[in-house]
Amino acid sequence: MTRTTEFLMFFAAQILETIGMWRIFVKCGKRGWLSVIPLFRQYYLGVCAGRDGEGRMLALLEAGVDASIVSCILFEVGSLQYMVASFFFLLVMIPYTIFRIRVCFVLCDAFGRNRFWVVPWIVFDWLCALIWGLIPSFKTAEGYPFDEEEAAPELSGLEVDLDAPGLSINITRRTAMSFLKRKVLLRDIHLNIPMGHMVLLLGGSGSGKTTFLNAVTGYEKAKAVITLGDSDVYKQYNSMKYDIGFVPQQDLVRGSDTVYRTLSDAARLRLPADYTIDKRRNRINDVLDTFGLTPVKSSLVDKLSGGQRKRLSIAMEYISDPTLFILDEPDSGLDGVMARSLFEKLRSIANTGKIVIVITHTPDRVADLFDDVIVVAKDAMRTGRLAYYGNTIDAYEFFGKRSMEEILMSVNRKEEGGEGRADDFVRKYSALKAGGMA
Amino acid sequence: MDTYVKHTGRVSQTFIYLGKLFRMFIFRNDWKALPMAAFISGLVSFVVGKKMNVSMEGTLRGAFAFSCICIWNGFFNSIQVICRERHIIKREHRSGLHMTSYVFAHMIYQAFLCSCQAAITITVMVLAKVKMPSMGYVTDPIVDMFFTMFLITYAADMIALFISSFVKTTTTAMTVVPFLLIFQLIFSGGFFSLTGNAYKLSYLTVSKWGLTSLCAQGEYNSLPMTSLWTSMSKMRSMEIEGQKPVDELLDYITASKRKDELMLECGSNNQDKRYESSAENVLKCWRNLGIFIALFAFLSVVMLEFIDYDRR
């Protein structure tokens, strides 16, 4: 067989597969033309089967397989390039076949066909694509797509006044590109937090709490306008970064340094350059006192208890005396007494006119310390939405519950053990705000 | 909030991080890299040291082994240093850390570590009575040797620093190390004869330039070649038509005290232009190692500038 014949056969198989896939995509409610692009073809085959992740991997492997086949055809048999291409082909064919099997298995379910079809799909994919695509009796099974959700609540679009004092948050949406698909992580979150308020951020796992905080601080930007006082957090971040303290979930401290040195380095990095040594030392000592770290200031961070490490993490952020102080689960790993004591410290910080926003998974033991609560919940499209923002006392009435954990249960999805009423509350809150605004 | 407030600049930040790194040296057992260097160089000196700078084969083998331990030291000095604190750096970057300061602090600290390791290696070589080069081509012979070993270690160190700046976990970093080492060993051009594209690849290895510099300083091309004599000695008993010509020839050469002359002659016929003993050649190797250092340090900064794009 000549090289030209090999190439023509490969090309013909690609064309036939494209035609078949075009029709399969149409049957699955996708755009048929996506099958023209080889990379998209494999990915959307995965999407049709309801396996985006596998489809993504398959697309990458397909690119490798095609590149190595074309190289094998182009280069002379026995040449170094041919050998490398053959080796590469062998290398990618193994995972490619595995992922192909995974996708085809689920595709058979989607089309209500026997799983034995996987074998011909692996050997003669172009032929199967033609059969499944062109023969009318090959159609998607009843109830396809199996994971379709009901419509998500409509957008409120009720933006808050950016000139209001405090922290104004207007998040239109926060998206993330995952291979060829754009996923909306947060949408339509508008609120204003006055200065001196301590706010609880409530939401189930994966509801987008941390994404929300990252969007507010500009850590991971969203399509949003966030203002703190007169300043735009996104546009003026460089001048504001020392005014925003963000304590993430994990303790970001180096174990081999002493507590004092850790804090001293943080102070040198974050405090203005014109701070005198005495002024800086006083600030460090004040913060050590505030967080009860003075007795262990000479200890290595590695030797600290969980609570002390957490307080050190917070102290490092607090050293620059930020106006907006955000903490992601600062009480994780702390017992009730220590957690309470920590939150009381945060309350005292808020009382000095700062804004403190806190995520915690055990809100009821400290609920009385908060002024407001933000409830973020996943809607039907699994996008983080604002289900409530307001006074903690009013929140109980709004949700018809007696504790924060009950509120959380009501917005959590059913498969997570919750009541799955997130969409109801998103709509109710939008209506409430619209009524209030009107 | 609108008024611009000046914060710590790059120079001050470099000193802050330099302080952190030296405290790590004391408290996090980073100092253990030094006795490890002594142990490895002791082992290598014991195995290949006696023939180094004595014969062509011994010099090549010794130079290869010593450049390998320098690369080993360099890789393990910094392969984990950035990736193990990646989350911390990301947060600090958001709080005003300049990546140039961070990498420069690492460069200074690693230079200290590498120079200590190079000094320890040479001290161990002297103690193990490894023959040192008789003349220096750029400075003093020992200083030349130190500088070469320092540059090999430091260049490998910067490559590892670069790897550490873009991998996300220490596990990934440690998985990459064996591949890097194998690449350096195979493509050094010392032991495996490389031709064509494979030879061109050797230009991209620290081991090639380190090996070349050590061989050049050891006057590789002026040394006797012993492999022919050793091979012929093994063939002494070979008989041709009832006679033992090899045995007779070797006896004659030994009796006429021309063994050394033969080995030198053998060496002069097998000179390798790459290992030419000259200041230019040594300086060229140093320059190329310097390019590795600068390039990978720069690439580390570039990689770290993208740290904000890290996802959870």
**Residue B149 near residue B118 (C-beta atoms within 8 A):** yes
In B, minimum Cα distance to A267 occurs at B8
Residue A119 covered by a domain = yes
Residue B23 covered by a domain = yes
- Tell me which residue has tokens 């925003």: A244
B146 and B251, same domain (yes or no): no
Q: Which residues of A touch B8 (CB under 8 A)?
A: 268-269, 273
pLDDT of residue A1: 63
Tell me what the mean pLDDT of segment A304-317 comes to.
Answer: 89
Sign of CA pseudo-dihedral A302, A305, A310, A311: negative
B291 and B252, same domain (yes or no): no
State which of A87, A116, A134 marks the end of a domain. A134
Encoded tokens for A149: 């959700």
* Percent of chain A predicted with pLDDT > 70: 95
pLDDT, tens digit, 9 for 90 and up, residues A114-172: 888 988 998 888 899 999 999 999 888 877 776 555 566 777 767 777 677 889 999 99
Residue B175 covered by a domain = yes
Tell me what the mean pLDDT of segment B182-189 comes to.
Answer: 88
A261 and A402, same domain (yes or no): yes
A290 and A367, same domain (yes or no): yes
Residue A150 covered by a domain = no
Beta carbons within 10 angstroms of residue B231's beta carbon: 10
Please judge whether A241 and B96 are an interchain contact, meaning their C-beta atoms are less than 8 angstroms apart: yes
Number of domains present in the structure of chain B: 2
Residues A388-397 as b or e (16 or more Cβ within 10 Å = b): bbbebeebbe
Q: Which residues of A touch B16 (CB under 8 A)?
A: 265, 268-269
Residue B283 covered by a domain = yes
Residue B101 covered by a domain = yes
CATH number of the domain at A224, please.
Answer: 3.40.50.300
A177 and A93, same domain (yes or no): no
B148 and B179, same domain (yes or no): yes
Instruction: Assign B134 a pLDDT band (cuts: 50, 70, 90).
Output: confident
What type of residue sits at position B67?
A: S
**Cα dihedral angle (A195, A215, A388, A411), rounded to 10 degrees?**
-140
Residue B220 covered by a domain = yes
Q: Which of B21, B91, B98, B102 would you mutate first to test chain A, the one with the most A CBs within 10 A?
A: B91
Please judge whether B94 and A246 are an interchain contact, meaning their C-beta atoms are less than 8 angstroms apart: yes
CA of B305 to nearest chain A CA: how many angstroms apart? 14
pLDDT, tens digit, 9 for 90 and up, residues B12-62: 999 999 999 988 888 777 888 888 999 999 999 898 888 888 888 889 989
| Distances A371 to A163, A198, A326, A348, A355 between C-alpha atoms, Å | 21, 5, 15, 13, 11
pLDDT of residue A103: 87
Beta carbons within 10 angstroms of residue A88's beta carbon: 16
* Percent of chain B predicted with pLDDT > 90: 50
A207 and A130, same domain (yes or no): no
Q: Which residues of A touch B87 (CB under 8 A)?
A: 248, 250, 252
B157 and B244, same domain (yes or no): no
pLDDT of residue B4: 66
**Residue A413 near residue A381 (C-beta atoms within 8 A):** no
B97 vs B14: CA distance, rounded Å: 10
Q: Which one, of B163, B206, B157, lies nearest residue B184 by Cα? A: B206
Tally of CA atoms within 13 A in the half-sphere of B221 that contains its CB: 13
A193 and A323, same domain (yes or no): yes
Looking at the partner chain, which of B2, B7, B85 has a beta carbon nearest the beta carbon of A231?
B2
A215 and A299, same domain (yes or no): yes
State which of A134, A156, A189 marks the end of a domain. A134
Encoded tokens for B119: 């000094």
In B, minimum Cα distance to A210 occurs at B312
* Parent domain of A414: 167-437
DSSP B7: B
Residue A152 covered by a domain = no
Q: How would DSSP label each residue in A169-230?
A: EEEEEEEEEETTEEEEEEEEEEEEE-TT-EEEEE--TTSSHHHHHHHHHTSS--EEEEEETT
B167 and B288, same domain (yes or no): yes
Q: Which residues of B touch A323 (CB under 8 A)?
A: 1
A18 and A87, same domain (yes or no): yes
B113 vs B154: CA distance, rounded Å: 9
Q: Which of B3, B4, B6, B8 would you mutate first to test chain A, the one with the most A CBs within 10 A?
A: B8
| Burial class of residue B15 (count of CB atoms within 10 Å of its CB; 0-12, 13-18, 19+) | middle
ipTM: 0.77
Instruction: Assign B1 a pLDDT band (cuts: 50, 70, 90).
Output: very low
A372 vs A15: CA distance, rounded Å: 60
pLDDT, tens digit, 9 for 90 and up, residues A325-348: 999 888 877 788 888 888 998 999
* Parent domain of B143: 10-224+273-309
Residue A206 covered by a domain = yes
Tell me what the mean pLDDT of segment A363-383 comes to.
Answer: 90
Tally of CA atoms within 13 A in the half-sphere of A235 that contains its CB: 9
In A, minimum Cα distance to B8 occurs at A273
Please judge whether A241 and B23 are an interchain contact, meaning their C-beta atoms are less than 8 angstroms apart: no
* Secondary structure in 3-state letters for A306-371: HHHHHHHHHHHHHCCCCCEEEEECCCCCCCHHHHHHHHHHHHHHHHCCCEEEEECCCHHHCHHHCC
pLDDT of residue A47: 86
pLDDT of residue B3: 58
B160 and B215, same domain (yes or no): yes
pLDDT of residue A41: 87
Residue B3 covered by a domain = no
pLDDT of residue A230: 83
B112 and B248, same domain (yes or no): no
Tally A–B CB contacts below 8 A. Answer: 81
A420 and A283, same domain (yes or no): yes
Beta carbons within 10 angstroms of residue A318's beta carbon: 25
State which of A134, A158, A185 marks the end of a domain. A134
A211 and A102, same domain (yes or no): no
Is pLDDT at A217 greater than 60 in this prediction?
yes
Indicate the average pLDDT of chain B: 89
- Of B95 and B283, more confident: B283
pLDDT of residue A180: 59
Looking at the partner chain, which of A241, A250, A273 has a beta carbon nearest the beta carbon of B95?
A241
Number of domains present in the structure of chain A: 2
Beta carbons within 10 angstroms of residue A329's beta carbon: 20
A86 and A174, same domain (yes or no): no
Tell me what the mean pLDDT of segment A208-219 comes to.
Answer: 87
B250 and B154, same domain (yes or no): no
**Residue A342 near residue A311 (C-beta atoms within 8 A):** yes
In A, minimum Cα distance to B81 occurs at A254
Residue B2 covered by a domain = no
**Residue A299 near residue A258 (C-beta atoms within 8 A):** yes
pLDDT of residue A438: 40
A84 and A178, same domain (yes or no): no
pLDDT, tens digit, 9 for 90 and up, residues B115-132: 999 999 999 998 888 888
Residue A177 covered by a domain = yes
Q: How would DSSP label each residue in A239-276?
A: HHGGGEEEE-SS----TTSBHHHHHHHHHHHHSBTT--
Q: Which residues of B touch A219 (CB under 8 A)?
A: 94, 308
The backbone torsions φ and ψ at residue A272, rounded to the nearest 5 degrees and listed phi first, read -60, 150
B96 and B219, same domain (yes or no): yes
A125 and A205, same domain (yes or no): no
CA of A11 to nearest chain B CA: how many angstroms apart? 32
Q: Would you list which residues of chain B are within 8 Å, Cβ to Cβ, of chain A?
A: 1-2, 4-9, 12-13, 16, 19-20, 23-24, 27-28, 85, 87-88, 91-92, 94-97, 197, 308, 311-312
pLDDT of residue A105: 84
Please judge whether B8 and A268 are an interchain contact, meaning their C-beta atoms are less than 8 angstroms apart: yes
Tally of CA atoms within 13 A in the half-sphere of A307 that contains its CB: 14
Q: Which residues of A touch B2 (CB under 8 A)?
A: 230-231, 236, 239
Greatest Cα pair distance in chain B:
103
